[in-house]
């Protein structure tokens, strides 16, 4: 057997480690920018518009690349595509701290392409390697993704202060190490596609494109509107908290706690998610919990720590359920990749409009009331889409 000498490369535990490592790079490199935004602006003399692009640009890139990821996986191979994604993330993390504004945006562009590829293809990889443990493995990697992002955001300002107010070292210490190890692990998986093809039974392909399936649109809207709400909060929460009277370092720590809270649903739902026959109540609860938090930010801003944590719980719950639905409702790994690409393409297109819209409403009305109202509308739509997407015994077939 050609792979017998190195069969441990393709052991499920090795694959799982690779999944967790790449998951750790899916959020932290982008969300870790927000606590350091003032330092980046001061160092590179960025305008407010340029600073806003630091968050908006990756989301547009996510949307475009999400459409291409499934096709790339079919041509190049699923594991090889994830190796390429890990390399792009690692290179991007380094490039963005190596120079001025051009290097910053170039590096963010590279890592955004890598993140988009990995975001789309991980659910398909989980379905291929862990078909009987989709809920458990999805919960596990969502948990790890939230933990790394939270750790990175909470320590961003202290690490910058330790490095002499250097946002560059702060941006590379955590995510740079994670990205490097991720590349090394995924390099062992370059032969995994052929190995999987040799051992997989033949399966029928989906008879209709996912764009024509109603369930695919429900999942897309559910996941997409959650992305809108998440990136609006992730982009503006530190600024909003400073406006409410919190110190910058405290705002960064709360921003980190919000991301840490996105991991809580993975802990709670990991043992039961795969066994849930009807996920509608869980899907609805996650969305409406976010609605509650926006009301809280508006009427009791002094309790923003609580609202931030509850928002993280709600957002993490929706994200986890949406990823699980992609794996469970799809009929093949190919359809899972296509469905994931569709959901994330449309979701990130919407999400890219969220932070500028929230900031514009704040500037227009001189406060956060209308901006938070927009967030509430988004979460109510999310709840409706989730109720339809999570109906039991439905698969993505025409």
Distance of CA 215 to the CA centre of its chain: 21
CB-count exposure of residue 236 (10 Å: 0-12, 13-18, 19+): buried
**Using one digit for the tens of pLDDT, what is the confidence trace for 34-89?**
778 778 888 888 776 677 777 778 888 888 888 888 888 888 888 899 999 999 99
Alpha carbon 135 to its chain centroid, in Å, reads: 17
How high is the pLDDT of residue 305? 93
Find the angle CA(374)-CA(375)-CA(379) to the nearest 5 degrees: 120
State the residue range of the domain holding 118. Answer: 4-389
The band of 222, judged by pLDDT with boundaries at 50, 70 and 90, is very high
Q: Is the dihedral of CA 25, 30, 35, 41 positive or negative?
A: positive
Residue 132 has pLDDT above 80, yes or no: no
CA angle 275, 142, 20 (to 5 degrees): 110
Contacts of residue 6, Cβ cutoff 8 Å, sequence gap at least 6? 188, 191
Please give the model's pTM, rounded to 2 decimal places: 0.76
Number of domains composing the chain: 1
pLDDT of amino acid 8:
46
Residue 317 lies in a domain: yes
**Maximum distance among all Cα pairs of the chain, rounded to whole angstroms:** 68
Task: Give me the CATH number covering residue 259.
Answer: 1.20.1250.20
pLDDT of residue 297: 94
The secondary structure of 201-216 as a DSSP string is: PP-PPPSS-GGG-HHH
Place of tokens 């639905």: 325
Q: Indicate whether 204 pLDDT > 50.
A: no
* Across 114-126, average pLDDT: 88
| Domain contains 49 | yes
Question: Is residue 395 situated within a structural domain?
Answer: no
Residue 396 counted as domain residue: no
397: in domain: no
Averaged pLDDT for residues 204-230: 80
Whether 46 is covered by a domain: the verdict is yes
- Which pLDDT value is given to residue 107? 92
Q: Is residue 323 part of a domain?
A: yes
Residue 149 lies in a domain: yes
pLDDT at position 84: 93
Band of the pLDDT at 202, cuts 50, 70, 90?
A: very low
């Amino acid at each position: 057997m050609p792979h017998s000498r190195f069969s441990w490369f393709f052991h499920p535990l090795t694959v799982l480690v690779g999944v967790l490592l790449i998951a750790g790079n899916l959020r932290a490199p982008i969300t870790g920018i927000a606590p350091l935004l003032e330092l980046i602006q001061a160092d590179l003399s960025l305008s407010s518009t340029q600073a806003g692009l630091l968050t908006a640009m990756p989301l547009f890139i996510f949307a475009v690349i999400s459409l291409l990821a499934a096709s790339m996986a079919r041509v190049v191979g699923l594991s090889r595509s994830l190796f390429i994604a890990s390399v792009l993330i690692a290179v991007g993390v380094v490039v963005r701290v190596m120079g001025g504004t051009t290097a910053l945006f170039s590096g963010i562009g590279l890592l955004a392409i890598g993140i988009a590829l990995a975001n789309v293809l991980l659910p398909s990889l989980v379905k291929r390697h862990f078909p009987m443990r989709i809920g458990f493995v999805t919960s596990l990697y969502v948990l790890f993704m939230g933990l790394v992002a939270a750790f990175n955001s909470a320590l961003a300002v202290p690490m910058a202060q330790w490095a002499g107010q250097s946002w560059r070292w702060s941006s590379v210490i955590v995510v740079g190490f994670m990205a490097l190890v991720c590349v090394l692990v995924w390099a062992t998986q370059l032969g995994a596609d052929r190995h999987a093809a040799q051992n997989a039974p033949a399966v029928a392909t989906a008879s209709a494109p996912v764009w024509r399936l109603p369930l695919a649109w429900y999942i897309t809207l559910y996941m997409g509107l959650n992305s809108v709400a998440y990136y609006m909060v992730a982009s503006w929460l530190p600024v909003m908290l400073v406006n409410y009277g919190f110190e910058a370092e405290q705002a960064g720590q709360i921003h980190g706690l919000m991301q840490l809270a996105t991991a809580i649903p993975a802990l709670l739902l990991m043992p039961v998610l795969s066994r849930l026959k009807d996920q509608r109540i869980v899907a609805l609860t996650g969305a409406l919990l976010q609605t509650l938090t926006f009301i809280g930010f508006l009427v009791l801003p002094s309790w923003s720590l609580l609202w931030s944590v509850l928002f993280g719980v709600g957002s993490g719950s929706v994200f986890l359920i949406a990823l699980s639905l992609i794996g469970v409702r799809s009929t093949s790994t190919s359809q899972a990749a296509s469905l994931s690409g569709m959901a994330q393409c449309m979701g990130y297109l919407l999400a890219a409009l969220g932070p500028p819209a929230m900031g514009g409403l704040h500037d227009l009305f001189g406060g956060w009331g209308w901006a938070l109202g927009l967030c509430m509308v988004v979460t109510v739509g999310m709840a409706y889409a989730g109720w339809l997407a999570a109906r039991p015994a439905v698969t993505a077939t025409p």
